Every structure is written in structure tokens, then in C-alpha cells.
Structure 1
Amino acid sequence: MLFRVALSLAALAGLPLVDAVDPLVKLNYITYRGVARSTGVTEWLGIRYAAPPLGELRWRAPQAPLNNETVIEADTHGLICLSTPGTPGDPTTSEDCLYLDVYAPSNASSSSKLPVYLFIQGGGFNVDSNPNYNGTGLIQASEMNIVIVNFNYRVGLYGFLASQEVVDNGNTNVGLLDQRMVMQWVQQYISQFGGDPEHVVLGGDSAGGASILLHLTAYGGRDDGLFQAAAAESATFGNMLTISQSQYQYDAIIERVGCGYEVVEDTLGCLRSLNVSYLQANNYNVPYPNLGAGASAPIYMYQPTIDGGLITDYSYRLLQQGHFIKVPVIFGDDTNGGTIFTPKNTSSYQEMDQFLNDQFSAMTANQLLIMNAMYPPAETYPDSGPFWRTVSNAYGEMRFMCPSQAVGSAYNQFSAAGAWIYSYNVMDPLEMEGGYGVPHTIEINAIWGPYNVAPGSAPASYYPGQSNAAIIPIIQGYWTSFIRTYNPNIYRLAGSPEWVQWNAWAKDRLLFQTNATAMEIVDYGQQARCAYLQSIGVLTQQ
């Protein structure tokens, strides 16, 4: 009788009638034992989601992980994927790097069907720069109502090498295919951790934000049901090449390592046979071949490639044509997104133009002249050239700020699902003093919480009791509401303003500022500059 009463009370309360998820989770190929923390969150670290991409699996789509009968203690993060430029001997990295982490409320059950936040880290597609973020803070901010997954994926030489040889005997864009492999893993297994495979929200910063757009437009906008909404922070629109345009990168690496056409017949097979330490020692960027003398290598050379499959065209063109999945999205950027990338000693428009051309090799002399007119000399700072902030303003709007607004306008035109656009202007005293302003991806520290990102990476002002601490619950309220409901407003922090959807005509976005977060209309100067940059986006290969 008491048992039946307990069941009835549980049913009335909406409580699960099964035990919480066991830290011991048996997958089809392996069993992992997670760790239940005193925070109320259980974490499973270092779960292998694909076979080691070694030897013959270099530059191939990820393969299913091998069966393993042993129980693995999931208490340690997997090693991070190798970067470009290479860092031989870095003990934190490995070519065997395809691992993910899961964080879930300890009281969740296999029938909880909690919303899933699947986070794609950034790093310019050349480094995994946001590894091992701890999901505890966001789960607590959601009132224990979400599950979080983050992961490593192949980058740089190993993730985005493209050439005819790779097309003939491998796969292009394997870093993006790794990401889709994780999405498929979530579909198959996340319910065992308390998550709902039919309620998956993608998150990502920088190249992770760009990845989100590439998945929204993948295969011309084909919806494979892998996610239902997406939130992109500081998404980047980089320079994208075709297979044939990327050939020079392949030709350069095979010559450097002794696998050139005059040496061996199977150049790709030769590359696959090389010791990874030797590859890393020779893994560096070279300038675009069409720029001539005076050119420098781009910051990020290996990029997603237009391959006619996963990526069918430039992002701008796909947006303009409506070829994307119509789900709710958040996109936005920081006030000074360019400052951490541009040369501090930039002293003239000529040097600014060279930097921009080094990054966007298709830019014409006339386009650069117009950029010079749009970006007058800006404020100066000690220990920097007089045009550092000028080139930073141009690069930041071209690569980050204006593309996010273009996404909002495309969704406003083609989708009824909704697009929310933001500008992040939370000023950290040290960043402001150094001239960096509100730099690229700094909002990631607020979204996850300063204790949950890499040690030492969050600004001191974000911690409890400091000047910017108040922004943390505000932005977490919007993000966790969006993860839970596909709408940032439902569970936003009490007193926070309603975040109005982007309208292509009104151009209204949410401005994040400590103690002053509010809706704003994009100023007319930025509207005009973005209109031009968006109009040449296809010509600049974005």
C-alpha cells in the first residue's frame, strides 16, 4: 500500500519512476564509469567516439570505434588534437584525439529526456582552443535541466587538408565530419545519460560558430535531424577555397616532407606512412600563391573547403539563396573582435591592406581602397602602431560582426523559426587598458562561467564580487533558456530585458553590458559598412 502511494505521489509530482543514471554506462562498443560529483553533476570524461584516425585513417571520414570489453574509468579528458602550426612533443596533444565528455545532472534518468547542449570548440579550424570546458556551471544555471557534451575534432593539416589526391583516396573536411560523427553519437547514446536525442542545441564559438553555420548549410541545407536549434558565439567567416585552389597546400607539404611527385607515385600514401612527430615539425602555414612578393602566411591556412558535398558553396551565397536548415538560432559577436588577430605594429593603410589580403586572398585593390575609406584612423595605444585599431576594426567587422548580422537577415527572410542577434560589450579593465577592448570570444567565459573554462583564461573582473560578475547570471539565463526551449526569453533572469528577434529592416540586437544590458539598433555607420562587406562576401570567398 505504501509503495503504491509513493508511486502515485511520484507520478503527480512528475518525478521519474526509475533510478538515476548509473555512472556505469554500457555503450554498444565499450563501458565507461563516470564520476558523480558533490555538485550534483555526474561527468564522463574521455569517451572515445571514433576509431583512432591513424595511418590509413588519416584524411578519411571518422570510423566507428573498435569494441572493447573492459570497463574504462571515465575520469580523465582525452588528449587534444594536433594543431597547425605544429608543436612537436606537446604532451597534451595527440593524433589519437577523437574523444568527448558528457556532463549530466546526477539525478537524471534514462527517461528524463533533458535538452542537450552540444558544444563545438573554436580555434580557427587549426587548433582545438577551448578543450575540456566543464559543464557544471551551465547545468546549475539551467536548474539541473540540461545535459552537456563537448569534444575534440581534427583541425589544421589533419582536419582540413584538401587536394585531388585526398578526393581520390580519402575525404575532405574530415574535421567537420568528426563533428557530425559526434552528433550521430548523441543520437544513439545520449538517452543513456539522461538526454533527449530529439532536443539537441548546437553551441560553438569562433570556428565552432562557423561550424554551426556550415552544418546549417551542409549538403545545401539538408536537414538530417541531428539538431533542433543552434547558438553561435563570435562565428567567423574565413577565406574558403575550392579543391583545386587548395592544391598548393598539399603540394607544399609533400615537398617539405619528401613525398613529392618526383620522389614517389603515391604521395598521399607516403604522407600517411610518416611519423606524426616528423609531420608536426613540418606543419606550418605558407602564403596564398596568388599574392606575390611581400605576402605573409594567413593566420589560419587550413580551412573548410568547398567540396561539392558537405560544403556546396560560399556561406554568404547559401544564406542569400535560403539554402540552410530553418531552426531557431542565436548569432553575435564582441565589440572589438579583431584586436587579438591583427599586427600591433600596423602603421599605415598599406600595411593594413597587406594584412587583409594575406587573410582574404581574393580581395581586389578597389575593395581595399573602399575599406580604407570606410575605416579612418582610429585611437592609438602605447606600444602599438597608429593603424592597429584601424585594421582591427576592419578585420573584426569583416570576419565576425557583419557575418552574424547577415545570418540574422537571412533567417528573417527565409525562416519563421527565429534569429536572435547580440553584441557583447562587457568591458574588462585590463583588456581595455591594453587596447584590446572587448576582444574575440571573451563572452565564452561568461556563458560557461569563469570557473568552468581553462584556468587563467577568464578575466579577473568576471569572478564573484568583481566588477563584471553581474553579467554571468544574465547571459547564462538567456543561453540556458534557449537550450531548454529554443527561445532565450522563457527562462531568462528576472529583470533582464526581452530579447527581440532580429529584423532585417530594424536591425535590433541585444547589447550585453554590465548593469546596462538592453536592446539597441545597430548604429548607421556599422549598418553601412556591413552592407558593403556583405555585398562583396561571395567575391571575398566567405
Structure 2
Amino acid sequence: MLGLGSLPLLTLAYLSLAQEIPAPGSPSIVLDEGIFIGKRVNHTDEYLGISYAQPPVGNLRFRFPVAVGPYHGVYNATLFGDVCPQDNASLIAAPGAVFLDPFETLYYETFPVPNVDQSEDCLSLNVYVPERTKPGDNLPVVVWLPTASFLWGGGAFVNGAVIVQRSIQNRQPIIFVSVNYRVNAFGFLPGQEAKDAGITNLGLRDQRQALRWIQQYIFNFGGDRSRVTMWGANSGSISAGFQMLNNGGDSEGLFSGAWMQSGFPLPLNTYSELQGTYDILVNQTSCQGSSDSLDCLRRLPFEEVYQAMLAAPAAQRFGRWQVVLDYDFIAEQPETLLSQGKVACVPFVVGCTEDEGTIGALNLTSITTDNGTATWLINEGLPGVSMEQVEQIFALYPSDPAAGSPFGTGDLYALSPQYKRLAAIIGDIEYHGQRRFFLNHISGHQNAWSYLSKEFKLPFVGAVDLSDLLNIWGPGDLTDRVINFVAHGNPNNSSGVFWPQWTIPAPHQLNIQNDSSFTVEGDTFRTEGIDLLMALSIQFPE
């Protein structure tokens, strides 16, 4: 998985936030015997930093999230809670990073970096509500699962008020919730020790607990617990997919739909295949040689565990602190579960940008020959693939720049002789192939829509990964489709181009063109190549 982790996101400014006294007349909400004092911004009431689980510190480090007890007293809900311990090192190779500058400028204008602390006491969420909403109004709810590669990020990095305010303007008011969950080593500890303790994929379990909290408390905010849509991009989208695959596909009534952008459940390493990651962590601490290394890790000072987490080279961290196949939260490989129909039967939308693979390919501009690309495929892209299979890929993905990504740009932007070929292959392995596989296996059982964003087509990187978020948080026309889906389980809002469902006999998708116009086209591009890469991806997971 190269996509979102490659973005040099978020040089966090970890500044101490002064405690604020809520202004007189501030909005408030009662949960159990506690009163949460929020703040009103324009026409949105914001309740920030509400704990949905007990702090996973001390003996609760590397354990399941534990539900909070009944709330008591008065809580200041005007500030974001701390984000979970994270690593914000750039994963873009230095020679290619300059080509992302125009996109980063647009991205940070839309998503300014917040001033937030990080700590283990981080399991909180933020609720954005149309002003004066009250219990019984039964507004639909959307839950934002943050992007950022399972390495960094959190609920504070998006402004939910943008979406709520647009929904008010559309006369379709919704409630927006953003969630912090454990990332990096604190949330995705692999290895036999983690498996034996039953604590694999803790970040996904945190998300599940947050969804349970919403079921328990969202009515107090005026929400409808029967209409809860998961929404995410990249790792947030992957998370939504895994929540759909958890528990044999039984949603437990925790969600009623999913909007997924540029991230789908990929073939996984098992917990044992990443044993070396666990060992690296232990061996960088005073727990090296301990008879019970996991118990020892729980008792260490936070700073020692945190520094050990960062000991692996930055370029390796993306592949180490990740979701694993644990035969527990994730019972089988995702493609097996999808093939068996063990997936939550809820309506969903899946989307990609046209040039998903360009960020990953920026790391590979030193590859300049067919042999170099073949070596990368055999060792990293599809580890274990044969030279004969590489030749099949080459026949469908020629080194001709006009055939590569950014697509539709002719011979332009060939940063290296293999850059555009690699960008096309990476994008189809990790995004377009996974999206089609997801659709092919479950669209016949539930309502499904798909889109392709060609908007914000930039030099060298094209319609790059995450660029569709710039439309939604603009806000733009795609925002209205999101809101309508959250409200009604259908992205069509009775205006503009009709967006047909994606079906196997008629795989139609909505295309967002570079001029922001919508068209409907067949989802049939590069079919032979994508089918080959998907089959090989299942056989040879990264």
C-alpha cells in the first residue's frame, strides 16, 4: 500500500493548548449525569474532545478499548483532545517531493494543520451539530474515520462544520462525528505475542468502540442511531471496509452505509509475517530479553515506547505498523470474505482519483529501465511474482509515457523513463483493482455507486490521491452527493447528472471532470491489465 502513506502530511505543531472558559450562552448537552459545554461557530454547535473510551494508559496500554463509565460533572468540550501517538515523517523520496508542492498548497489551504498535543490519552471524538438541534430531531449521522496511513492523523485535522453548514444550506441537516483511534505501534502491534494476548488491530477495535458510543449517545445530540454512515479516505476508507467485513458481516446495527474514497481492504500480511516488527520494538527498549515482553512494554514510560516505535527507518514504518490478518477481528483474507459474501449488507459509494499511483511512483524515480521495474515488481510490488508474469504485465503496461499516469497527458511529465508506467501499475494494483474487486463481489447484493475524479489535474502528478477531498471540503458539488447519501442512502439529489448504480452488467460510474462537471461513463478502462494485477495481488500480497 503506497498511496496515502506517501503523502508528506502534517508536520504537527504539538503546542500546549490553554484551557478556555466556555462563553456565556454556549451550547450544552447532557450525557448521563454529565454536562458538556461546547461552542457555537456560525450555525454549528461543536462538542470537541469527548472521551469514548477510558484512556489506554498504564495497564490498559496494548489492550482492548474499555467503555467509559457514566459521565459526571461538567466538561469543557470546546477543545480537541490529544491525538494518538504518531509519526509524521515524510515518506516521499526527496527527489520527487517538489512535484507535489502545488497539491500540498491546495491541500493545506483546505485542511490547515491544527495545534494539538499527542498522548496516549487520545480516544476521543468530536461532534458537530446544526445549532439548536435537540433529542428527537433524528438527524442522520456521518462518522469520519481519519486518513493518514494508520501512522498519524486524527479527528482534529478536518473541520466537520464545513460539512454540517453545507447540509444546513441544502435543507438536509446532518450530524458530523470525527474519531481519534490508536495508530502506529500503539494501535497495530503485530506478532505472536500480540496474537496470543488477543490485542491485534487495536485501532480497528477503537473504531468499533466509537461506533458503539454513537449508538449509545447520539440521540442526546438529536441524531438518529439507525442512520449512521461511515466515511473515510485512504486508511479511513480501508477501515470502513474492514468494519464491513468484521463479525461475519454483521454490522450489529452500528452503521447503515459507507462512503469510501481511495482505500479498500487489501490482501494482508499475517500477524506472524510481521513478527520482526514486534521484535524491533522490543529490542529498542529495556524489555529486550524479558520473559514477558508484552507485559514489560505496558510498564515502560511512554517516551521509551514512543522512541522505540520510531527506531525503524521512516521508509519502512509504512509497511510495519499496519492492519494484519489475525484470524480474529479479520477472520480471513479480505478477498476470501468478499467472495464468501461475509460483508455488511449496506449501501455504499466507492471512489478513486484518476492518478492514484503517482505519489507512490515519486519514490521510484531512480528506476529507469525495464529490468529495474521488473526487480521492483518481483521484490516489492508483487513479491514473489515470476518473470513470465512480469512480462505479461509489461505487455499491458508499456513503458510508453503516453500510456501511463498521469493519464491523458501524452508524453508530458515523464520524470524518468519508467515513472508513468510505475504510476499506472501502482494505481491499478492498490486502488482501481481493489475498487473493482469490491464492487464485483458485493454490488449484486446491495446498492452500490462508484466515481472517478479527474478534477484538480496537476502537472506531473495529475488527479493525485486525495485530490477529491478538495472538492468535498471546498465545499463543491460532490459534497452535496455525500450529504444526500448520508441522509437517504442514495447519492442522487434530484439535481444535475443522474448517477446510476454500479452493476456487473452495467458498470456505470460518475466521472468528475477537470472542469468540475459530471459525466457518466462505463467503468471499463484498462480491464485486462487491472484484472491481471488484481489476480496477482491476491496471489502475491505486498
TM normalised by structure 1 equals: 0.82
Corresponding residue to 1:101 among 126, 144, 158: 126
**Deviation per residue, 1:445-475 (Å, 9 max, x gap):** 22133xxxxxxxxxxxxxxxxxxxxxx4321
Corresponding residue to 2:58 among 45, 48, 55: 55
Change (3 A) 1:347 1:115: same
Change (3 A) 1:45 1:130: closer
Equivalent residue for 1:374?
Answer: 396
Residues in 2 aligned to 1:99 and 1:73: alpha-carbon distance in whole angstroms: 13
Percent identity (aligned): 27
Query: What are the equivalent positions in structure 2 for 1:56-455 lying under 5 Å apart?
Result: 56-65=59-68, 69-84=72-87, 92-128=117-153, 131-142=156-167, 143-260=171-288, 263-284=289-310, 297=316, 299-342=318-361, 343=363, 344-356=365-377, 357-358=379-380, 360-361=382-383, 363-377=385-399, 378=401, 384-413=415-444, 415=445, 417-428=446-457, 432-433=458-459, 435-449=460-474
Partner AA of 1:116 in structure 2: V
Equivalent residue for 1:529?
Answer: 529
**Deviation per residue, 1:462-491 (Å, 9 max, x gap):** xxxxxxxxxx432112111111000111x2
Partner AA of 1:318 in structure 2: L
Residues in 1 aligned to 2:122 and 2:431: alpha-carbon distance in whole angstroms: 28
Check the 8 A contact 1:126/1:300 in 2, yes or no.
no
Residue 437 of structure 1 deviates from its aligned partner by 0.4
Equivalent residue for 1:293?
Answer: none
Corresponding residue to 1:36 among 40, 48, 58: 40
Corresponding residue to 2:479 among 476, 501, 507: 476
Residues in 1 aligned to 2:432 and 2:414: alpha-carbon distance in whole angstroms: 26
Residues in 2 aligned to 1:373 and 1:259: alpha-carbon distance in whole angstroms: 51
Q: What secondary structure sits across from 2:343 in the alignment?
A: coil
Residue 281 of structure 1 deviates from its aligned partner by 2.3
Residue 46 of structure 1 deviates from its aligned partner by 0.9
Partner AA of 2:263 in structure 1: A
Residue 210 of structure 1 deviates from its aligned partner by 0.7
Partner AA of 2:259 in structure 1: A
Structure 2: runs of 5 or more not aligned: 1-24, 91-114, 403-410
Residues in 2 aligned to 1:130 and 1:532: alpha-carbon distance in whole angstroms: 37
Q: What secondary structure sits across from 1:282 in the alignment?
A: helix
Residues in 2 aligned to 1:354 and 1:31: alpha-carbon distance in whole angstroms: 60
Residues in 2 aligned to 1:202 and 1:117: alpha-carbon distance in whole angstroms: 6
Residues in 2 aligned to 1:382 and 1:487: alpha-carbon distance in whole angstroms: 38
Residue 421 of structure 1 deviates from its aligned partner by 0.7
Residue 499 of structure 1 deviates from its aligned partner by 0.6
Change (3 A) 1:285 1:421: farther
Change (3 A) 1:93 1:367: farther
**Deviation per residue, 1:369-412 (Å, 9 max, x gap):** 43333222225667932212221111111111121122222123
Equivalent residue for 1:509?
Answer: 509
Check the 8 A contact 1:44/1:74 in 2, yes or no.
yes
Change (3 A) 1:396 1:243: same
Partner AA of 1:508 in structure 2: H
Residues in 2 aligned to 1:102 and 1:501: alpha-carbon distance in whole angstroms: 31
Residue 309 of structure 1 deviates from its aligned partner by 1.7
Report the aligned-residue RMSD. Answer: 2.5
Residue 124 of structure 1 deviates from its aligned partner by 1.5
Check the 8 A contact 1:239/1:359 in 2, yes or no.
no
Equivalent residue for 1:18?
Answer: none
Residues in 2 aligned to 1:53 and 1:99: alpha-carbon distance in whole angstroms: 11
Residue 154 of structure 1 deviates from its aligned partner by 0.7
**Deviation per residue, 1:475-517 (Å, 9 max, x gap):** 112111111000111x25x2x2111111223322110113431
Q: What secondary structure sits across from 2:319 in the alignment?
A: coil
Change (3 A) 1:148 1:326: same
Change (3 A) 1:217 1:31: same
Check the 8 A contact 1:363/1:540 in 2, yes or no.
yes
Check the 8 A contact 2:63/2:199 in 1, yes or no.
yes
More RCO (CA 8 Å, sep 6+): 2
**Deviation per residue, 1:417-449 (Å, 9 max, x gap):** 310011011034xxx22x110111111122133
Residues in 2 aligned to 1:501 and 1:315: alpha-carbon distance in whole angstroms: 23
Residues in 1 aligned to 2:201 and 2:374: alpha-carbon distance in whole angstroms: 29
How many aligned positions are there? 477
Residue 137 of structure 1 deviates from its aligned partner by 2.3
Change (3 A) 1:64 1:363: farther
